[in-house]
A and B are shown apart, each in its own frame.
Chain A
Amino acid sequence: GQQVMQIPQYQHVQEGEDFTTYCNSSTTLSNIQWYKQRPGGHPVFLIQLVKSGEVKKQKRLTFQFGEAKKNSSLHITATQTTDVGTYFCAGPGGAGGTSYGKLTFGQGTILTVHP
């Protein structure tokens, strides 16, 4: 079935440093979503990317969707302690990466920020 691989598994940064997590799929995705889960919390939807080469920004967060729609990245500029948590990418779980209804989540990147 559809899988999305996410790296790195862990990332420790000093407050103020940048952070990037990467998501890769073996098949073309119709869209990709990103979620954040705070420690002890539940995943919260951040954004969805649909177009090839799309770049979206949310304050210090920059999301990219690859030209081939097989990879994506989340970049955080100048991390803050409030950025702590696990960041997940998720792609459609149907054959060919097209089924919107079902999402397959990556393993997530756990971000810790040292003040």
Chain B
Amino acid sequence: GAGVSQSPSNKVTEKGKDVELRCDPISGHTALYWYRQSLGQGLEFLIYFQGNSAPDKSGLPSDRFSAERTGGSVSTLTIQRTQQEDSAVYLCASGPAGTGAIGEQYFGPGTRLTVT
């Protein structure tokens, strides 16, 4: 079946511009996660959605970052007034419900963001 898809695959933007990154999770997965991967910081958790519960935003690095998940499916990560330190690969993952599936997260290919 179809895996997690992300768009765009690459995004180059000027400092100060806003960007939107999209994630289409695996159909039926109730959990959706955003991480970012950068040389200096490794893999960092950003935000987590689980069903209709309030999202866990504890990993968002600043108030310039926000995310939403519409209809329990597609998610958009928005970065406002981008800075050069935002340059990274942004990864989306989805996962099935249930404690038997704990930690089973299916990752998309990522969006490589470059802020110039």
Q: Do A and B bind each other?
A: no
Residues in chain A within 8 A of chain B (CB atoms): none
